[in-house]
């Protein structure tokens, strides 16, 4: 099993199973496995919470579970293939154990609707991201011998009132969702179709959740949304622009900068992170709030996707290369010591060699601390699939990706080397995988640091003097 907390933001996490004792257990055990983005892991905790109330007990052992749920990802074809193999594996187990219920949750459930159930007969339950409250009822239907589906998307559902059970975590860092869905319609992206319309969660419920985490000893909270910068609470319901609100709604509204300030004030010993930011929506107001609070980590994940304005236009990203670089300039001006990471897609429809060079030159200009780098993967029914041809040959995509990766590795190493000799505050998240004599944690910049354990514990803030590094890890000693 993978250690969730040693993985970084947005990576395709795989196969984390969740487990927690339920004092009101009815004896039925459920195994939940999650794939994809942090939002999915956060959703699995909501699912576990809904099921716990009904008496279900989560387990890490698939063999002892009566119900197996797979929370799925559709972002790239590869993600879906991984899940599909897993579902086929579970299906084999079910042949020997026919009473076992298999359910598919999340984005693939939404995208494929009844296909996995009717045509391929792989699963018994199909539940989309907005229908988790219905899970207990759906399980009852399956108990009664039927198949069950709910893939209705909602304009209101935020699960705001459900306090997720924190499973499989380290007791130190936690995710808190603040928005659901996405209205941006980037042409390559399946998310607007699988997660529906964007909506923001009540700020009071967010602050309460963060306070509760702080009281339970958590030291870091990551606010999650597809586009956190467009968070806007005006009383609930689908996303609206500020100028479309009534005067009354405007007066009582809460935007992302204001929300972050509210959250930062809960407990100065609780660090705040957030993901994902969108260049078209990231305001100076947000940057000023980041600069003002020591406990807001100086780290922004700001996907650029491409360094070329024509490709950005085709992607419907809503900004140009110049706009993006202007946002970078604002970050450097307002928060001089801020780490920035990115997502980038190579080989998007019709991308030329010069346009690929624009991506490399933008990277050279920014020197990201870290990047998540992807080959374009055409997704069924997205705008790009309908409008453009996926015409960049696989080997060209592969070569361009390698060039991007090589450049990023060089920049990551440069960024890490710049920290050698410094003494940095590290929040300890766990024992290092390589040696149980070492602990690992993260700096404000989200860089992983390892150092000899001594008497330090998970959850401690430790000042670590950095004396060496690789492109992925800082190596130091506590001082």
Which positions lie near ligand 5AD, rule CB under 6 A? 10, 75-76, 188-189, 303, 305, 343, 345, 374, 376-377, 379
Q: Which does 76 bind (CB under 5 to 8 A by kind): ligand SF4, ligand 5AD, none?
A: ligand 5AD
Is 384 an interacting residue with respect to ligand SF4 (CB under 6 A)?
no
139 lies in the binding site for ligand SF4 (CB under 6 A): no
In whole angstroms, how close is the CB of 203 to ligand SF4 at the nearest point?
22
Selection from ligand SF4, ligand 5AD, none that 327 binds (CB < 5 to 8 A by kind) is: none
Structure tokens at 161: 């009132």
Side-chain half-sphere exposure of 348, counting CA atoms within 13 A: 26
Distances (CA, A) of 421 to 410, 441, 446, 449, 470: 19, 18, 18, 13, 14
Region from 94-102, 165-173, 184-192, 449-457 binding ligand SF4, contact rule CB under 6 A: 184-192
Q: 114-142 in b/e burial notation, b at 16+ Cβ within 10 A?
A: eebbeeeebbbbbbbbbbbbbbeebbebb
Of 144 and 381, CB closest to ligand 5AD: 381
| Minimum CB–partner distance for residue 40 and ligand SF4 (Å) | 13
Six-digit token string for 262: 């509210």
Q: What angle do CA 264, 267, 271 make, to 5 degrees?
A: 60
Residue 286 found at the interface with ligand SF4 (CB under 6 A): no
Of 103 and 347, which has the nearer Cβ to ligand 5AD? 347
CA angle 303, 43, 148 (to 5 degrees): 125
Please provide the size of the chain in residues.
479
Q: Which of 5, 84, 201, 278 binds ligand SF4 (CB under 6 A)?
A: 278
Mask for 187-216, x = binds ligand SF4 (CB under 6 A) = --x-xx------------------------
State both tokens at 281: 């929506």
Nearer to ligand SF4, 170 or 276 (CB): 276
Q: Check binding of 182 to ligand SF4 (CB under 6 A).
A: yes
Smallest distance from the beta carbon of 181 to ligand SF4, in angstroms? 9
Q: What is the dihedral of CA 307, 313, 318, 322, to 10 degrees?
A: 40
Site size for ligand SF4, by CB under 6 A?
10
- Is the previous residue joined to 276 through a cis bond, with omega within 30 degrees of 0? yes
Our CB check for ligand 5AD shows the closer of 72 and 432 to be 72
| Angle, vertex CA 338, rays to CA 307 and CA 421, nearest 5 | 120
């Amino acid at each position: 099993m993978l250690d969730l907390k040693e993985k970084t933001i947005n990576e395709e996490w795989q196969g984390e199973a969740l487990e927690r004792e339920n004092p009101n257990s009815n004896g039925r055990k459920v195994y939940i496995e999650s794939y994809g983005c942090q939002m999915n892991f956060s959703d699995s905790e909501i699912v576990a919470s809904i099921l716990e109330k009904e008496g279900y007990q989560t387990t890490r052992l698939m063999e002892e579970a009566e119900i197996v749920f797979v929370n799925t990802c559709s972002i790239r074809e590869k993600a879906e293939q991984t899940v599909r193999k897993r579902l086929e594996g579970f299906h084999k187990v079910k042949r020997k154990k026919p009473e076992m219920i298999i359910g598919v949750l999340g984005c693939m459930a939404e995208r494929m609707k009844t296909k996995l159930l009717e045509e391929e007969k792989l699963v018994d339950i199909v539940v989309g991201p907005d229908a988790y409250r219905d899970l207990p009822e759906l399980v009852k239907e399956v108990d009664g011998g039927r198949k069950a589906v709910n893939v209705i998307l909602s304009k209101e559902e935020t699960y705001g009132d459900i306090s997720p059970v924190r499973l499989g975590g380290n007791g130190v860092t936690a995710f808190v969702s603040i928005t659901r869905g996405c209205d941006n319609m980037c042409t390559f992206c399946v998310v607007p179709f699988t997660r529906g319309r964007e909506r923001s969660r009540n700020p009071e419920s967010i602050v309460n959740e963060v306070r509760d985490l702080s009281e339970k000893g958590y030291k870091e909270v990551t606010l999650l949304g597809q586009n956190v910068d467009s968070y806007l609470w005006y009383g609930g319901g689908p996303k609206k622009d500020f100028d479309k609100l009534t005067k009354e709604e405007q007066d009582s509204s809460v935007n992302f900068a204001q929300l972050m300030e509210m959250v930062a004030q809960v407990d100065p010993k609780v660090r705040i992170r957030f993901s994902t930011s969108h260049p078209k929506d990231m305001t100076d107001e947000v940057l000023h709030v980041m600069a003002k609070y020591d406990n807001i980590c100086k780290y922004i994940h700001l996907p650029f996707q491409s360094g070329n304005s024509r490709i950005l236009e085709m992607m419907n990203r809503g900004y140009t290369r110049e706009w993006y670089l202007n946002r970078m300039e604002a970050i450097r001006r307002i928060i001089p010591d801020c780490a920035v990471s990115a997502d980038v897609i190579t080989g998007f429809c019709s991308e030329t060699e010069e346009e690929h060079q624009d991506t490399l030159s933008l990277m050279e200009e920014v020197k990201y601390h870290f990047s998540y780098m992807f080959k374009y993967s055409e997704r069924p029914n997205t705008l790009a699939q309908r409008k453009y041809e996926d015409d960049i040959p696989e080997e060209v995509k592969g070569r361009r990706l390698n060039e991007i990766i090589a450049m990023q590795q060089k920049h990551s190493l440069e960024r890490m080397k710049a920290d050698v000799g410094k003494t940095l505050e590290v929040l300890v998240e766990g024992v290092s995988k390589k040696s149980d004599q070492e602990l690992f944690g993260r700096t404000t910049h989200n860089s992983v640091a390892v150092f000899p354990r001594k008497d330090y514990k998970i959850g401690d803030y430790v000042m670590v003097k950095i004396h060496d590094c690789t492109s992925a890890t800082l190596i130091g000693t506590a001082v």
